Amino acid sequence: MPSNPVLQLYNTLTKLVEPITPAAFIQDTPHLRFYSCGPTVYSYAHIGNFRSFLTADLILRTAQALGWKTTYVTNVTDVGHLTEDDLTDPSGEDRMVKALQSKEGERFANIWDLARYYTEVLLRDWDSLNLREPDVRPRATEHIRQQIEAVEQLLANGHAYETSQGIYFSVASFPDYGKLSGRGHDADALEAGAAAATREVVTDSEKRDPRDFALWKKDDAHLMQWYSPWGWGFPGWHIECSVMAKAYLGETIDLHAGGEDLIFPHHECEIAQAESLTGKPFARYWAHTRFLQVEGEKMSKSKGNFYTVRDLIAPEPEGRGIDPLAVRMALISGQYRKPFNFTFDNLKAAARHVQRLREVSALVAAAIEHDAPGDAFLAPRLDALYAKALAAMCDDLNTPDAIAAVLEGVKLLNGVGANLNGASARRAQTWLDQVNALLGVVAPEQSPSSHPDTTDDPFAEQVEALLAERAEARKAKDFARSDAIRDELDALGIEVMDTAEGAKWRRKLSI
Ligand code: AMP
Ligand code: ZN
């Protein structure tokens, strides 16, 4: 058995590609403690968001393929993310409130409803694109008490101060501020963008330094508010991640990930808060995903090149009915640190690759039934190709090389074709399982937590009967009947998904 390769990733903190060595062990096995920033649930997640989530998923899968234990935490931001927290839009509105007040938001009774709905959609998209479930998916609104306590501690140890509008972190109290991003070291030399990012909407003249950022906002008119030692209000965005990472992973975590826009200010601020609370390093390694572009341009609604996952995978007419695994394959086809251009041509190529994997899986499954001695040459060649794919992933997630090794394996298996049988088919099956565990592009991995058992549905029998009838109607090319059945299912609140494995169904999300 060849020894495992060493997992290496680019560390934004040191600007070096470094071997990742988890600090802790569970019975001699490395234990990776990993936190990745999740979405703000004010809208449907777009393919750019998922490019970043997929990077985290691939790191997790690679660590697990190496046999490591992992504790993976990724949050849901359901309060407090103001547009002023981002460099791109310093207008200062609350993302969730803005969404509720938009046309789209008219569907919701209130802000809690909006957060719940988009969280549920996120979980479904997560599942459809075959991302592994985190060990914990904490929500900011469920950790308000811990955030208040952290703010109290920062006030007590001199890293924060109160104004009439809120509690601010004092950047001057943390000399290491800027160590991740190289920005914001010096208040005088602060770039315009950095100033904008931490600027308050309603300029708070009591702020001591323009770099200081809000830990708590006093606001008894906000749509989401909690009682605190400073009256009614809500937490700043950055504090949730420092607090939840510490709660579930300990004071020093191994790895922290997110999209490149989070380096500054979000992650810089997370470090400042966490390290001021504990006096210990917050995260040993930082991994950031380069932004995705679409057809060579920044994705934006006004350019008409903005795609949510829903737009691509939802059945027509709501979406384009594209195979979710093809979307996954396309999104991981570029290395996470390189500029990535999503195009419909590369989506088509990805769909072809996924289709070839599916066909070869069927070939292998059929061949397993034929009990005959296998071809001795196949196993070592498949072993070598899996080793190549794993080594590529360990090389700073070189997904293009990993995918190339997998496609070489597909070619090899197709070459053996009809001669595939017995032991060699079983080895090929194991190879496909290994490849799927590593890249998640062969078949959906059903995780019980995220796939509620549809047989429990009160309409399950009726739905199954209608689906069988629909399949018959489609076979007989009676499309009027099959459409009518879809409408009937729709009225029952059932969504039908036509997949390569046949029609699947689930209950539609209620608003
Ligand atoms: P948000 O919901 O805005 O907090 O973003 C959730 C995650 O998606 C963060 O890690 C962002 O950095 C990431 N992200 C947002 N836009 C893109 C993009 N175009 N490409 C890659 N990652 C993105
Ligand atoms: Zn975060």
Averaged pLDDT for residues 162-175: 96
How would residue 510 be classed by pLDDT, with cut points 50, 70 and 90?
low
Q: Which ligand is nearest to the CA of 273?
A: 2
Residue 417 sits in the same domain as residue 499: no
Strand ranges of the sheet holding 340-342, from the earlier edge strand across to the other edge: 297-298, 292-294, 340-342
Averaged pLDDT for residues 342-371: 94
Predicted TM-score (pTM) of this structure? 0.88
Range of 111-115, 207-211, 244-248 with top mean pLDDT = 244-248
3-state SS record for 131-174? CCCCCECCEHHHHHHHHHHHHHHHHHCCCEEECCCEEEECHHHC
pLDDT of residue 317 exceeding 70? yes
pLDDT of residue 80 exceeding 70? no
448 occurs within a structural domain: no
Taking the CA atoms of residue 54, residue 58, residue 60 and residue 63 in that order, the dihedral angle to the nearest 10 degrees is -170
Residue 340 sits in the same domain as residue 282: no
Question: At residue 490, what is the residue type?
Answer: D
pLDDT of residue 50 exceeding 80? yes
Spacing, Cα 20 to ligand 1 middle (Å): 24
Q: What is the CATH number of the domain that holds 355?
A: 1.10.730
Task: Return the minimum-mean-pLDDT range out of 111-115, 172-176, 495-499.
Answer: 495-499
Q: What is the pLDDT of residue 419?
A: 83
Residue 240 sits in the same domain as residue 304: no
449 occurs within a structural domain: no
Q: What percent of the chain has pLDDT over 70?
A: 89
- The residue written with tokens 């046949």 in the block is 502
Pocket flag, ligand 1, residue 287 (CB < 6 Å)? no
pLDDT of residue 154 exceeding 50? yes
pLDDT of residue 194 exceeding 60? no
Backbone angles phi, psi at 367, to 5 degrees: -70, -25
Q: Which ligand is nearest to the CA of 35?
A: 2
Round to the nearest angstrom and report the end-to-end CA distance of the chain.
53
pLDDT of residue 447 exceeding 90? no
Averaged pLDDT for residues 176-181: 97
485 occurs within a structural domain: yes
Domain stops at, among 383, 404, 439? 439
298: helix, strand or coil: strand
Q: What is the CATH number of the domain that holds 159?
A: 3.40.50.620
How would residue 161 be classed by pLDDT, with cut points 50, 70 and 90?
very high
What is the average pLDDT score of the chain?
A: 89
How would residue 460 be classed by pLDDT, with cut points 50, 70 and 90?
confident
Question: At residue 272, what is the residue type?
Answer: A
pLDDT of residue 122 exceeding 90? yes
Before 265, cis peptide (omega within 30)? yes
Residue 272 sits in the same domain as residue 132: yes
Residue 119 sits in the same domain as residue 167: yes
233 occurs within a structural domain: yes
Before 380, cis peptide (omega within 30)? no
Quick one: tokens of 450? 């995220």
Residue 394 sits in the same domain as residue 476: no
pLDDT of residue 114 exceeding 80? yes
DSSP bridge pairs for 234: 217
Rounded CA-CA distance 73/50 in Å is 16
**166-169/213-218 β-pairing:** antiparallel
Look up the domain containing 353 and give its range: 294-439
How many domains would you assign to the chain? 3
Q: What is the pLDDT of residue 69?
A: 96
Determine the Cα angle at 190 with ends 188 and 192, to 5°: 130
Residue 123 sits in the same domain as residue 221: yes
Q: What is the pLDDT of residue 83?
A: 56
265 to 184, 246, 254, 324, 397: CA distances (angstroms): 9, 19, 20, 33, 25
Averaged pLDDT for residues 132-147: 96
Pocket flag, ligand 1, residue 89 (CB < 6 Å)? no
CB 410 within 8 A of CB 329: no
Domain stops at, among 238, 271, 289? 289
Pocket flag, ligand 1, residue 258 (CB < 6 Å)? yes
Averaged pLDDT for residues 451-457: 55
Q: What is the pLDDT of residue 89?
A: 42
Averaged pLDDT for residues 153-167: 97
pLDDT of residue 92 exceeding 70? no
pLDDT of residue 432 exceeding 70? yes
Rounded CA-CA distance 155/168 in Å is 9
89 occurs within a structural domain: yes
What single string gives the DSSP state of each residue in 80-133? --BGGGSSS-TT--BHHHHHHHSTGGGG-SSHHHHHHHHHHHHHHHHHHTTPPP
* Closest residue by CA, ligand 1 atom 17: 48
Question: Which of the two residues, 496 and 35, has the higher pLDDT score?
Answer: 35
- The residue written with tokens 């007989």 in the block is 476
Burial 21-44, CB ≥16 within 10 A → b, else e: ebeeeeeeebbbbbbbbbbbbbbb
Residue 245 sits in the same domain as residue 386: no
Q: What percent of the chain has pLDDT over 90?
A: 71
How would residue 370 be classed by pLDDT, with cut points 50, 70 and 90?
confident
Residue 394 sits in the same domain as residue 487: no
Pocket flag, ligand 1, residue 51 (CB < 6 Å)? yes
Contacts of 166 (CB under 8 A, 6+ apart): 204, 214, 215, 216, 217, 218, 230, 233, 236
Residue 313 sits in the same domain as residue 388: yes
- The residue written with tokens 């937490």 in the block is 235
- The residue written with tokens 């969280």 in the block is 119
445 occurs within a structural domain: no
Which of 418, 338, 423, 430 lies closest to 382, judged by CA?
Answer: 430
pLDDT of residue 195 exceeding 90? no
Spacing, Cα 400 to ligand 1 middle (Å): 22
E-assigned strand segments in 319-443:
340-342
Determine the Cα angle at 468 with ends 465 and 469, to 5°: 90
Which secondary-structure segment (H or E) carries 286? Answer: strand 283-289
Question: Which of the two residues, 283 and 302, has the higher pLDDT score?
Answer: 283
Among 49, 74, 125, 181, name the best residue to mutate to test ligand 1's pocket (greatest count of ligand atoms within 8 A of Cβ).
49
Q: What is the pLDDT of residue 2?
A: 65
Residue 204 sits in the same domain as residue 343: no
Domain stops at, among 289, 322, 341? 289
117 occurs within a structural domain: yes
How would residue 491 be classed by pLDDT, with cut points 50, 70 and 90?
confident
Taking the CA atoms of residue 151, residue 285, residue 394 and residue 60 in that order, the dihedral angle to the nearest 10 degrees is -10
Spacing, Cα 37 to ligand 2 middle (Å): 4
**29-36/253-259 β-pairing:** parallel
Query: Residues 404-416: pLDDT tens digits?
Result: 999 999 999 999 9
- The residue written with tokens 């690679």 in the block is 62
Residue 282 sits in the same domain as residue 299: no
Rounded CA-CA distance 403/413 in Å is 15
pLDDT of residue 454 exceeding 60? no
Strand ranges of the sheet holding 226-228, from the earlier edge strand across to the other edge: 160-162, 166-169, 213-218, 231-235, 226-228
401 occurs within a structural domain: yes
Pocket flag, ligand 1, residue 337 (CB < 6 Å)? no
Pocket flag, ligand 1, residue 374 (CB < 6 Å)? no
Which of 498, 500, 503, 497 lies closest to 357, judged by CA?
Answer: 500
pLDDT of residue 433 exceeding 80? yes
